[in-house]
Amino acid sequence: MNAPDSETSFDISRRKLLAAAGIGAGALLTASLAKAEEAASGAISAAAADPVATPPVAGLHLQFGADASAQMVVSWHTLQPVKQPRVLVGRPDGKLEQTIAADEASYIDGKSQQTVYAYHAKVGGLDADAAYLYAALHEGAEPQFGTFRTSPRGRRPLSFTSFGDQGTPTLGKVFTPPAGVTLQGTTYINDNLGSPAAGDTTLGVERLRPLFHLFNGDLCYANLAQDRVRTWWDFWNNNTRSARNRPWMPSPGNHENELGNGPIGYKAYQTYFALPLAEGQTEVTHGLWYSFTAGSVRVVAIANDDIVYQDGGDSYVRGYSNGAQKAWLEKELAAARDDKAIDWLVVCMHQVAISTADKFNGADLGIRQEWLPLFDKYGVDLVVCGHEHHYERSHPIRGQQNNETLTPIPVGTATDVIDTTKGTVHMVIGGGGTSVPSNELFFTPPCCRVITRVGDKSPTTHKRVPIYVTEVAPWSAVRNAAHAYGFAAFDLDPGKGPGDMTTIKVTYYDVVGPDGQVAPFESFTLRRPRRD
Residue-by-residue DSSP string for 400-469: E-SSTT-PEEES---SSEEETTT-BEEEEE--SS-SS--TT-B-SS-EEEEEEEEEEEPTTT-SEEEEEE
pLDDT at 6: 56
pLDDT at 178: 85
Please give the backbone phi and psi of residue 239, each rounded to the nearest 5 degrees, phi first: -90, -15
DSSP state of 223: G
Beta-carbon neighbour count of residue 20 at 10 Å? 22
191: left (phi over 0), alpha (psi -120 to 50) or beta: alpha
Element (H, E) at 519: strand 517-529
pLDDT at 44: 46
pTM of the model: 0.93
Give the orientation angle of helix 228-243 with respect to helix 197-208, to 10 degrees: 20
Name the stretches of the chain with pLDDT < 70: 1-7, 24-49
Q: Is the dihedral of CA 210, 212, 217, 218 positive or negative?
A: positive
pLDDT at 76: 98
| CA 212 – CA 466 distance, rounded (Å) | 35
Q: What angle do CA 529, 369, 401 make, to 5 degrees?
A: 75
| CA 513 – CA 490 distance, rounded (Å) | 22
> Edge-to-edge strand order for the sheet containing 382-385?
290-294, 297-301, 344-348, 382-385, 425-429, 391-394, 476-480
